Amino acid sequence: MIAANFSEFRTGLKNYLDSVEDDNETLIIKRKSGKGAVMISLDEYNSIMETLHLLSSKKNAMRLYNSIEQMKSGRTVHPKFED
């Protein structure tokens, strides 16, 4: 995670964008008012949105949780596929 004030961000915009996109950095942009913003890559944003969607219903969240618990305890199924 990296941080910059607004002036630093404006001056180094290309470098900050490259860090966010290429190095998967999260950028905190601080303002004098105390407010700020967070910049993440589009891939990271899409990943977060997908996770939120998958966890948006209790039923689906429980299915995912139960699947993870089954995997951790070794209760997995390995289907055999025929050619």
pLDDT digits (tens, 9 = 90+) for 23-82: 999 999 999 999 999 999 999 999 999 999 999 999 999 999 999 999 999 888 888 888
pTM of the predicted model, to two decimals?
Answer: 0.71
* Contact by Cβ (8 Å): 18, 41: no
- DSSP designation for 30: E
State the CATH class of domain 2-40: alpha beta
